[in-house]
């Protein structure tokens, strides 16, 4: 979108807005759209709009070699003239506007600079070889997108050439700057003075220079500063000026770094910096903190003894409500400082953890759950911009090694997957990080691509988790590359399956490991698959829009669901089930583009080992986007009902009918049942599914479910709403057993009477009044305390809290008075003693009587 404003401060200011191939003229007075001109049919790639009081020039390329200029009446939007010129060669890259009506662009081999001049709708062009301007023109030339009046910057290798475009359209090389990192746009500081800034690398330092556009010799500002090399290169620079007390101009520069952090530089110093890379979190994992080492030094205790006493006296005063206002503030401060929350050790309840986040820029941050501070951050060496790796992106982060046996002397480590470009075939790098220090332990540039990573449920003797990395050619590579890992994999060889979802052609395929790859050299860590099954959805009526599976680390407490009459339903708890939502191709676009008759939503629950469809359901007149969450034996999904014009949420619960005849108590008393013996998907258990749908007011950005350590606590759904808030909704509201009039027994069990829509209770927003701007995902992690689940929501903002879906039934509240409890116990013991003595005495008296 291109927005331009008339510079003349006229009352009839016209605001031109270009978007989606259409130019709109909006009145600057009341915001009314005065006229619009559609360019979508002209197939023109509009790049420039030049506004003058009478006419507006709309210029752009059609294809890569035809340059078009449309002349539009500024008052009416009427097309006045249309002119074009066909260049004898193709162009490459964006064209840059140099001054009012002149543009520069490079040709497709990047050896010529083309200057295009629109003079009253007439198009002239000149061309000049790059080699005429610079001696060494061997590298790829790029026009930098900095807007400088009458100038443009051309980058070749690490050099930048500043070229002036004269009024006649001639190109004159002005200056050549070495080791340049970034160029700013021109800044007008007075009527005729335009300045710009650029940064250069000098050994370990960075030199920031501000120069006048018309005066090359003197620099207005030259500052050296040192920037942490973790932040990478400088990507962009913006300047801003201020007037010093001596009426000279001072400048401050905002730098955007490679890791997406921001720095404000003024007077050679970094005034502030922000880790804005955290706004683009792509994946999250957690790590336990180090175990607290035994043996705190005595000196430390003694030093703190007085403080400790004082603190307790203050706290006592606080509890007895005799503390003064200052003392109350002191108590608050004390609480904050001495709070256990921000300690760097593992706590008993498991509330303190490290949240390890991977950002799009390939930087890894460890955040402390207690106060959200950054414990460490690392820019992965392998994910730095370089010749081989032009657009590095972070993809995923996994727990690689979680030591339990040697938790005291071994640190957990992480696996980070990154790629050098947006396409699947781009080269991939994997990196191993220490979770406590952020040190990069090892990094590998892989010879193969990465299409998918499957963490296997097996660990080797050093507790490293086995991972299968699958490339685009459907070869699987085993990591870690050790003989022991091969041994473990060989043992479980026939039990490892893999499924692939191909959204483009609507196929889901199941695969099993077959044998080692057959390359020129035998790679024993590489495996090929054989196809087991495939589900082909009819492409004319169904298109895969969402798939969801259970979290691999979810813990389920029990396989039985007890009904009101003490009857038992057996949950179908399998990790190998996949929820697939298919929409009609016509209705797979945005809401409102399809009629209810065209739209259907088909839901499948598929066993991914055998390819068996366990359940299929059709929602007529419904369409995506579908957001779903799978947990235990149920799936909850959110979609749009076109007929009712409302969003809906549905729940499906899957039960295992083949176990239902396990009813004889004596079998259980004697232990003669097979409910805990290992099961296989090939037994083909009989499945029954229960389902119910409800209306839901909000559209949804993400759905997650709470997870607890043992899976006993009841679940809550965490719904990231369109308003960027997180709503906690009890799973009880999405229970297919809800009826209009539940019996007394059902009510006692906690079944809520059926209503057509799900209630939104404002108190159950776990974000309270806060907003998680641009919410993209929610992650839940179990705490050690069974009742509590840790919730991390990320978007542009980050949000962390801990929630207890069934209240904290397993711990005393923070304001529980231990003193009172202690006092009661002491009083009781005293009373016991006194009454004992009294009764003895009375007994004696009785005997004497």
Partner 1 sequence: MDKGKGVMGSSGRRWAVDFSDNSTSRDFIDPPGFSRASLDQDDSTLSRQKKDAESNWKSQKAWEVAQAPFKNLLMMGFMMWMAGNTVHLFSIGITFSALWQPISALQSVGKMFEPYKDAKVELLGPKLVFIALNLGGMLLGVWKLNSLGLLPTHTSDWVSSLAPAQEVEYSGGGLNFR
> Which pair of structure tokens corresponds to residue 757?
């829509």
Taking the complex as a whole, how short is the minimal distance between the CB of residue 508 and partner 1, in angstroms? 9
Contact between 615 and 654 (Cβ < 8 Å):
yes
Report in angstroms the alpha-carbon separations of 712 from 33, 162, 634, 786, 832: 59, 68, 16, 7, 40
Q: Assign residue 371 a region (left: φ > 0; alpha: ψ between -120 and 50; beta: otherwise).
A: alpha
**Binding of residue 507 to partner 1 (CB under 8 A):** no
Residue closer to partner 1 (CB basis): 554 or 735: 554
Interatomic CA distance for residues 620 and 601, integer angstroms: 6
> Which pair of structure tokens corresponds to residue 789?
């689940």
Using CB under 8 A, which of the segments 47-55, 563-571, 616-624, 734-742 binds partner 1? 563-571
Interatomic CA distance for residues 603 and 593, integer angstroms: 21
Residue closer to partner 1 (CB basis): 215 or 492: 492
Taking the complex as a whole, how short is the minimal distance between the CB of residue 450 and partner 1, in angstroms? 7
Cα atoms found within 13 Å of the Cα of residue 809, Cβ hemisphere only = 7
Taking the complex as a whole, how short is the minimal distance between the CB of residue 627 and partner 1, in angstroms? 15
Binding mask 671-690 for partner 1 (x = CB under 8 A): ----xxxxxxx---------
3-state secondary structure of 101: coil
Binding mask 365-404 for partner 1 (x = CB under 8 A): ------------------------------xx--------
Q: Assign residue 121 a region (left: φ > 0; alpha: ψ between -120 and 50; beta: otherwise).
A: left
> Which pair of structure tokens corresponds to residue 561?
């669901």
Binding mask 413-442 for partner 1 (x = CB under 8 A): ----x-x----x------------------
Residue closer to partner 1 (CB basis): 221 or 429: 429
Phi, psi torsion values for 788, nearest 5 degrees: -115, 140
Contact between 516 and 524 (Cβ < 8 Å):
yes
**Binding of residue 556 to partner 1 (CB under 8 A):** yes
Taking the complex as a whole, how short is the minimal distance between the CB of residue 559 and partner 1, in angstroms? 4
Taking the complex as a whole, how short is the minimal distance between the CB of residue 459 and partner 1, in angstroms? 13
Interatomic CA distance for residues 23 and 841, integer angstroms: 105
3-state secondary structure of 576: coil
Taking the complex as a whole, how short is the minimal distance between the CB of residue 659 and partner 1, in angstroms? 9
Residue closer to partner 1 (CB basis): 272 or 683: 683
Q: DSSP string spanning 583-643?
A: E-GGGSSSTTSS-TTT-EEEEEEEETTT--EEEEEEEETEEEEEEEEEETTEEEEEEEETT
Burial class (CB in 10 A: 0-12, 13-18, 19+), 60: buried
Taking the complex as a whole, how short is the minimal distance between the CB of residue 525 and partner 1, in angstroms? 17
Binding mask 454-473 for partner 1 (x = CB under 8 A): xxxx----------x-x-x-
Identify the residue among 156, 187, 450, 717 touching partner 1 (CB under 8 A). 450
Taking the complex as a whole, how short is the minimal distance between the CB of residue 577 and partner 1, in angstroms? 9
**Unique residue bearing structure tokens 């004898």:** 88
**Binding of residue 270 to partner 1 (CB under 8 A):** no
Number of Cβ within a 10 Å radius of residue 521:
5
**Binding of residue 497 to partner 1 (CB under 8 A):** yes
Residue closer to partner 1 (CB basis): 747 or 768: 747
Identify the residue among 2, 560, 591, 770 touching partner 1 (CB under 8 A). 560
Binding mask 519-548 for partner 1 (x = CB under 8 A): ----------------------------x-
Using CB under 8 A, which of the segments 89-97, 344-352, 662-670, 719-727 binds partner 1? 662-670
Q: H or E segment at 305? A: helix 298-319
Interface residues with partner 1 (CB under 8 A)? 395-396, 417, 419, 424, 450-452, 454-457, 468, 470, 472, 492, 495-501, 503, 510, 547, 549, 552, 556, 558-560, 562-563, 566-568, 570-571, 573-576, 578, 608-609, 662-665, 668-669, 675-681, 843, 846
């Amino acid at each position: 979108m291109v927005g331009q404003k008339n510079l003349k401060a006229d009352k009839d200011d016209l605001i031109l807005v270009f978007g989606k191939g259409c130019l709109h003229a909006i009145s600057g007075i009341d915001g009314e759209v005065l006229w619009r001109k559609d360019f979508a049919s002209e197939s023109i790639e509009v790049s420039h709009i030049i506004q003058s009081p009478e006419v507006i020039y709309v210029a752009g390329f059609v294809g890569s070699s035809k340059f078009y200029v449309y002349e539009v009446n500024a008052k009416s939007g009427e097309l006045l003239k249309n002119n074009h010129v066909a260049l004898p060669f193709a162009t490459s890259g964006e064209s840059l506007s140099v001054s009012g009506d002149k543009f520069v662009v490079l040709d497709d081999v990047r050896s010529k600079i083309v200057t295009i001049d629109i003079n009253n709708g007439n198009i002239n062009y000149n061309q000049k070889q790059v080699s005429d301007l610079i001696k060494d023109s061997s590298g790829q030339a790029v026009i930098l997108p900095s807007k400088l009046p009458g100038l443009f910057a051309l980058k070749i290798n690490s050099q930048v050439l500043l070229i002036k475009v004269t009024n006649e359209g001639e190109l004159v090389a002005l200056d050549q700057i070495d080791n340049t990192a970034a160029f700013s746009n021109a800044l007008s500081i007075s009527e005729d003075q335009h300045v710009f800034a650029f940064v250069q690398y000098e050994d370990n330092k960075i030199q920031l220079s501000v120069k006048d556009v018309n005066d090359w010799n003197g620099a207005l500002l030259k500052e050296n500063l040192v920037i942490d090399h973790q932040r990478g290169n400088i990507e962009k620079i913006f300047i801003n000026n201020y007037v010093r007390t001596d009426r000279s101009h001072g400048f401050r520069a905002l730098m955007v770094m490679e890791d997406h952090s921001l720095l404000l530089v003024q007077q050679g110093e970094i005034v502030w910096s922000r880790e804005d890379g955290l706004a683009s979190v792509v994946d999250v994992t957690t790590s336990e903190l180090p175990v607290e080492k035994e043996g705190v030094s005595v000196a430390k205790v003694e030093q703190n003894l007085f403080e400790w006493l004082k603190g307790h006296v203050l706290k006592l005063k606080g509890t007895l409500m005799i503390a003064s206002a200052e003392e109350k503030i002191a108590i608050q401060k004390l609480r904050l400082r001495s709070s256990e929350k921000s300690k760097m050790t593992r706590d008993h309840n498991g509330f303190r953890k490290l949240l390890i986040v991977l950002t799009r820029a390939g930087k890894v941050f460890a955040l402390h759950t207690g106060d959200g501070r950054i414990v460490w951050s690392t820019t992965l060496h392998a994910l730095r911009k370089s010749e081989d790796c032009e657009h590095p992106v972070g993809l995923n982060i996994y727990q690689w090694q979680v030591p339990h046996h040697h938790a005291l002397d071994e640190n957990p480590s992480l696996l980070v997957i990154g790629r050098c470009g947006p396409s699947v075939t781009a080269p991939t790098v994997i990196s191993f990080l220490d979770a406590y220090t952020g040190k990069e332990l090892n990094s590998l540039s892989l010879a193969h691509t990465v299409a998918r990573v499957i963490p296997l449920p097996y660990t080797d003797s050093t507790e490293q988790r086995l991972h299968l990395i699958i490339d685009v050619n459907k070869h699987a590579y085993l990591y870690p590359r050790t003989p022991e890992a091969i041994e473990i994999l060989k043992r479980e060889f026939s039990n490892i399956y893999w499924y692939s979802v191909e959204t483009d052609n609507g196929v889901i395929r199941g695969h099993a490991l077959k044998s080692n790859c057959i390359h020129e050299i035998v790679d024993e860590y590489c495996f090929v698959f054989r196809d087991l099954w495939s589900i082909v959805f009819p492409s004319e009526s169904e298109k895969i829009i969402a798939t969801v599976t259970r979290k691999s680390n979810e813990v389920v407490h029990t396989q039985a669901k007890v009904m009101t009459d003490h009857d038992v339903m057996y949950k179908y708890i399998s990790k190998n089930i996949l929820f697939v939502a298919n929409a009609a191709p016509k209705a797979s676009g945005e809401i409102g583009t399809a009629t209810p008759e065209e739209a259907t939503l088909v839901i499948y629950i598929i066993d991914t080992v055998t390819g068996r469809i366990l359940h299929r359901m059709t929602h007529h007149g419904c369409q995506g986007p579908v957001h779903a969450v799978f947990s235990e034996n149920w799936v909850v999904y959110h979609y749009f009902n076109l007929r009712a014009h409302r969003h809906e949420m549905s729940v499906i619960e899957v039960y295992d009918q083949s176990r239902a005849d396990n009813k004889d108590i004596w079998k259980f008393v004697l232990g003669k049942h097979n409910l805990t013996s290992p099961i296989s998907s090939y037994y083909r258990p009989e499945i029954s599914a229960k389902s119910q749908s409800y209306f839901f007011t909000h559209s949804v950005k993400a759905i997650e479910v709470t997870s607890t350590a043992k899976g006993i606590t009841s679940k809550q759904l965490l719904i990231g709403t369109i308003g960027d808030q997180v709503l906690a909704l009890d799973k009880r509201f999405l229970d297919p057993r809800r009826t209009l009039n539940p019996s007394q027994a059902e009510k006692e069990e906690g079944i809520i009477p059926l209503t057509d829509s799900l209630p939104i209770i404002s108190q159950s927003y776990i974000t309270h009044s806060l907003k998680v701007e641009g919410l993209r995902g929610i992650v839940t992690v179990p705490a050690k305390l069974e009742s509590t689940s840790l919730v991390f929501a990320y978007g542009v903002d980050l949000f962390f809290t801990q929630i207890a879906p069934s209240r904290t039934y397993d711990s005393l509240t923070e304001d529980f008075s231990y003193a009172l409890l202690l006092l009661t116990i002491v009083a009781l013991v005293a009373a016991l003693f006194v009454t004992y003595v009294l009764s003895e005495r009375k007994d004696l008296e009785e005997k004497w009587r």
